[in-house]
Amino acid sequence: MSDVVLDPAHHRIALVGAGIGGSLSPALHEREARALGLDYRYSLLDLDDLPPGWTLRDAVRGGVTGFNVTHPVKQAVLAQLDDLSADARALGAVNTVSVRDGRLTGHNTDHSGFLAGVRHGLPGVRLGRVVVVGAGGAGSAVAYALAGAGAGVSIADADADRTAALVARLRGTFPTGEIHRLAAEAVPAALADADGIVNATPVGMTGHPGLPFDAGILRDRHWVADVVYRPLDTALLGAARAAGCRVLDGGAMLVAQAARTLALLTGAVPDLDRMRRHLAALTRGEGKR
């Protein structure tokens, strides 16, 4: 990765999503950009506040030079893009959009961010067989990362068609992989033979309280990861910890994907350890573990 900053020298990045007022991304990105000496501002574009028919190109005309994309438009935004990276095309979801010479290209840093988070936060964990709950943008990235790392992956979602579409895409990308479609009600049975489980749904996020599945099925041999990072200590992770499970909060994925995004949009090389310290400082005093 080059350490030469890409044009433009003035980076104006925006996060696009719904209900994003509590996002930690602006502060996380701006703290690291400041440490790197970049002219970099990160703003929020909440879909709930934007006019009907608004598009990414409207923001580009307003001076935005790159985007992060989050729930619920990681897949819906594809129609607005000129091109996709190989990973984004395989996933059918983006979380980062670069703007070069008027062309919008979608990337996905969620998958590498998730895997980096697992390796840092759950060192030595057995990937073996993993259940992924959620087949949306985050679930696509998590399942892609796990399949690419050689894990057997079973994917469950309330939307059976979305699950089937994701499984078909992943089987096309990893033809020798063990990738299975799972009915939502079959999660308990699948977990009996699994090493770990990942919540890749918004359930547990601020404004979306609850558990994505019955945590009573967890055993101390399981590891449990959550993509939700606000709050960091979700109800699921609390229940998993009580069951004796090793757990990974969504902050690990947040930091790693943010670092990769910052690199893609600026050409600079972020310091992952420093960004983890940024996140710790941002969440200190919130009562999070």
Give the tens place of pLDDT for each residue, 167-183.
999 999 999 999 999 99
- Confidence band for 134, pLDDT divided at 50, 70 and 90: very high
Q: Cβ distance 40 to 11 under 8 Å?
A: yes
- Confidence band for 82, pLDDT divided at 50, 70 and 90: very high
pLDDT at 230: 86
Comparing 204 with 4, the larger pLDDT belongs to: 204
- Confidence band for 287, pLDDT divided at 50, 70 and 90: very low
Q: Can you say whether the dihedral through the CA atoms of 130, 131, 135, 139 is positive or negative?
A: negative
- Is the model's pLDDT at 8 over the cut of 60? no
Q: How far apart are CA 170 and CA 155, in angstroms?
A: 11
AA letter at 274: R
User: Which residue matches tokens 């996002």?
Assistant: 23
AA letter at 236: L
- Is the model's pLDDT at 127 over the cut of 60? yes
Among 74, 111, 129, 181, the one annotated catalytic: 74
DSSP bridge partners of 103 = 100
Could you tell me which of 54, 48, 60, 59 has the C-alpha nearest to residue 17?
A: 48
pLDDT at 3: 41
- Is the model's pLDDT at 2 over the cut of 60? no
Which secondary structure element, helix H or strand E, spans residue 247, and what is its range? strand 246-248
pLDDT at 285: 57
User: Alpha helices, DSSP H only, in 62-109?
Assistant: 86-91
Q: Cα-Cα-Cα-Cα dihedral of 107, 5, 273, 196, to 10°?
A: 10
pLDDT at 270: 97
288 is catalytic: no
Q: How far apart are CA 17 and CA 157, in angstroms?
A: 21
